[in-house]
């Protein structure tokens, strides 16, 4: 495991550096966007403060990123070309560039959705589900788009057309998804530590897994993804509280309790385990073959690290079944992988988690060495006796207090599994 960890770290660092050196900044064709927003119109050159194009005296067009850079979606700013009339109403809108996950924002890019902004005034509040219709499972992204359009349009309306816009309280356009996630994480953490002391609390794990499916999967549609780590590594963090809470709590839990997220919160892992509990006989995979297959997820992780960091394209790493399933969007291949991964659980316990999941691979690589997990014959991961801690999802079924804890001795210093 140490060799694998070092190898993947070297691959990640070298690919990230190479990608930064080879990256070519995309030149946005703003003139083409202008021609689409106002066919036949001849705009002036780009000038003024903020920079904008003019068509006569009554229409100004601008790139929102020239006006406001502070608003970010899940993976950075959403750059929009906007045509604004002298009366302060939006006459045209086109998304120029974004790095959001396609699964969640494919509808946001459509003409049907963007046309909902046409005719909106800079005096509107641009509140999702009030002034602007929302999109299920894309809250952070659509709110970022709405704030981008609102803030940049108001600046241009004021500086170019002299329109006075009533100031509002600078309240964050967040819903309370982050609070629901934090409560669920706290409940799962409490269940984890309680069940290490007494098996009477093991049922709490089933409760948090069900809640994970309902809250993280269906309601928030925000399972922890390897894409979070890719965006973080490429310095594209989100300012969304939900994004920050998901990343911070998951990485913290890995440091403290290894694959805790996999075993207590992951909605796809929960579905897989519940399917695996159905009374269907399981295939007996020889240990050597099982061990080889479990290495596949690490090879896949290395491959997508190379692809993403070299190209600086996060979407090249998007093969995760939970992203497709809970966004309700994907291509034929990704949906086939979802179906295969779920059906396979009838015969192979937690098929996706054991053999393919990039988050499982990452969390396994970062898992600390821990005693007290000897495994047993009803292990949800079908782990053999004394498994590598990187394959343990910390369900606590087999957990027994190590000798030093029973005697009240402090735990060993933090170490990473060799």
Q: What is the pLDDT of residues 312-368, one digit of tens each?
A: 888 888 899 999 999 888 889 999 999 999 999 999 999 999 999 999 999 999 998
R_g of the chain, CA atoms, integer Å: 25
Q: Tell whether the model's pLDDT for residue 30 goes beyond 60.
A: yes
3-state secondary structure of 84: strand
Distance CA 100, CA 24 (A): 19
- The pLDDT of residue 410 is 43
Name the pTM for this structure: 0.80
pLDDT tens column, 60-112: 999 999 998 878 877 778 899 999 999 999 999 999 988 888 777 777 888 88
Within 13 A of 403's CA, how many CA atoms are on the CB side? Answer: 0
Share of the chain above pLDDT 90, in %: 54
pLDDT at position 168, please? 63
Distance in angstroms (rounded) separating the CA atoms of residues 239 and 270:
28
pLDDT-above-70 percentage for the chain: 91
Residues 175, 241: Cα–Cα separation, whole Å = 9
- Angle (CA) 48-49-54 rounded to 5° is 40
Residue 141: pLDDT over 70? yes
pLDDT digits (tens, 9 = 90+) for 35-68: 888 888 888 889 888 999 999 888 999 999 999 8
- Say which residues have a Cβ less than 8 Å from residue 340's Cβ, sequence separation at least 6: none
Run of H or E including 284: none
The burial class, CB within 10 Å (0-12 / 13-18 / 19+), for 299 is exposed
pLDDT at 28: 78
Distance CA 117, CA 85 (A): 13
For residue 124, the model assigns a pLDDT of 84
Q: How far is CA 227 from the centre of its chain?
A: 6
Q: What are phi and psi of 61, to 5 degrees?
A: -125, 145
Give the whole-angstrom CA distance, residue 64 versus residue 175: 24
Q: pLDDT tens across 159-185, in order?
A: 999 988 877 654 444 568 889 999 999
- What does the pLDDT read at residue 414? 40
Cα(158)–Cα(111) distance, rounded to whole angstroms?
Answer: 27
Distance CA 247, CA 268 (A): 17
pLDDT category at 136 given cuts 50, 70, 90 is: low
- The reported pLDDT for the residue numbered 417 is 47
Six-digit token string for 405: 């804890």
Which of 72, 378, 20, 393 lies closest to 239 in space, CA to CA?
Answer: 72
Separation between Cα atoms, residue 120 and residue 115, nearest integer Å: 10
Question: Residues of 376-404 as b/e, b for ≥16 C-beta within 10 angstroms?
Answer: eeebbbbbeeebebbbbbbbbbbbeeeee
Q: What is the pLDDT of residue 2?
A: 82
Q: In this predicted model, what pLDDT tens digit does every residue of 291-301 receive, in sequence order?
A: 999 999 999 99
**Phi/psi zone of residue 235: left (φ > 0), alpha (ψ -120 to 50 degrees), beta?**
left
Residue 278 exposed, middle or buried by CB count within 10 Å (0-12, 13-18, 19+): exposed
What is the pLDDT at residue 406?
Answer: 47
| Omega before residue 383 within 30° of 0, cis | no
DSSP 8-state secondary structure symbol assigned to residue 131 = T
CB 386 within 8 A of CB 372: no
Treating both helix axes as pointing N-terminal to C-terminal, what angle do 358-366 and 226-233 enclose, rounded to 10 degrees?
Answer: 70
Mean pLDDT of the chain: 87
Q: Is 126 helix (H, G, I), strand (E, B) or coil?
A: coil
- Bridge partners of 54? 60
pLDDT at 133: 64
Distance separating alpha carbons of residues 273 and 349, to the nearest angstrom: 7
pLDDT at 263 over 50: yes
């Amino acid at each position: 495991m140490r060799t694998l960890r070092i190898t993947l770290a070297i691959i990640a660092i070298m690919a990230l550096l190479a990608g930064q050196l080879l990256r070519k900044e995309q030149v946005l064709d703003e003139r083409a966007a202008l021609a689409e927003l106002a066919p036949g119109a001849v705009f002036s050159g780009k000038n003024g403060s903020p920079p904008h194009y003019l068509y006569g005296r009554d229409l100004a067009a601008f790139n929102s990123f020239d006006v406001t850079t502070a608003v970010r979606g899940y993976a950075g700013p959403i750059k929009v070309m906007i045509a604004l009339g002298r009366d302060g109403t939006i006459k045209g809108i086109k998304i120029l560039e974004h790095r959001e996950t396609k699964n969640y924002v494919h509808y946001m890019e459509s003409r049907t959705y963007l046309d909902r902004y046409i005719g909106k005034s800079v005096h509107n509040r641009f509140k999702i589900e009030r002034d602007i219709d929302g999109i299920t499972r894309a809250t952070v992204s659509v709110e970022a788009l709405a704030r981008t359009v609102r803030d940049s349009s108001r600046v241009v309306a004021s500086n170019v057309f002299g329109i006075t816009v009533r100031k509002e309280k600078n309240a964050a356009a967040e819903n309370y998804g982050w609070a629901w996630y934090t409560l669920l994480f706290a409940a799962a953490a409490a269940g984890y530590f309680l069940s290490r002391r007494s098996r009477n609390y093991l049922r709490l794990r089933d409760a948090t897994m069900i809640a994970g499916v309902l809250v993280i999967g269906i309601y928030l549609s925000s399972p922890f993804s390897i894409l979070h780590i890719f965006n973080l590594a490429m310095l594209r963090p989100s300012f969304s509280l939900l994004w920050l809470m998901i990343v911070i709590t998951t990485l913290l839990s890995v440091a403290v309790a290894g694959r805790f997220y996999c075993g207590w919160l992951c909605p796809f892992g929960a579905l897989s385990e519940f399917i695996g509990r159905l009374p269907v006989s399981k295939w007996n995979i020889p240990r050597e073959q099982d061990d080889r297959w479990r290495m596949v997820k690490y090879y896949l992780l290395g491959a997508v690290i190379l692809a993403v960091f070299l190209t600086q394209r996060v979407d090249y790493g998007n093969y995760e079944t939970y992203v497709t399933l809970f966004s309700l969007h994907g291509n034929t291949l990704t949906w086939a992988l979802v179906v295969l991964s779920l059906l396979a659980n009838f015969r192979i316990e937690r098929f996706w988690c054991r053999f393919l999941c990039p988050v499982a691979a990452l969390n396994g690589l970062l898992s600390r060495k821990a005693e007290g997990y000897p495994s047993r014959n009803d292990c949800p991961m079908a782990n053999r006796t004394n498994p590598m801690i990187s394959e343990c999802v910390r369900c606590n079924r087999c957990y027994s207090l190590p000798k030093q804890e029973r005697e009240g001795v402090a735990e060993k210093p933090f170490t990473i599994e060799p």
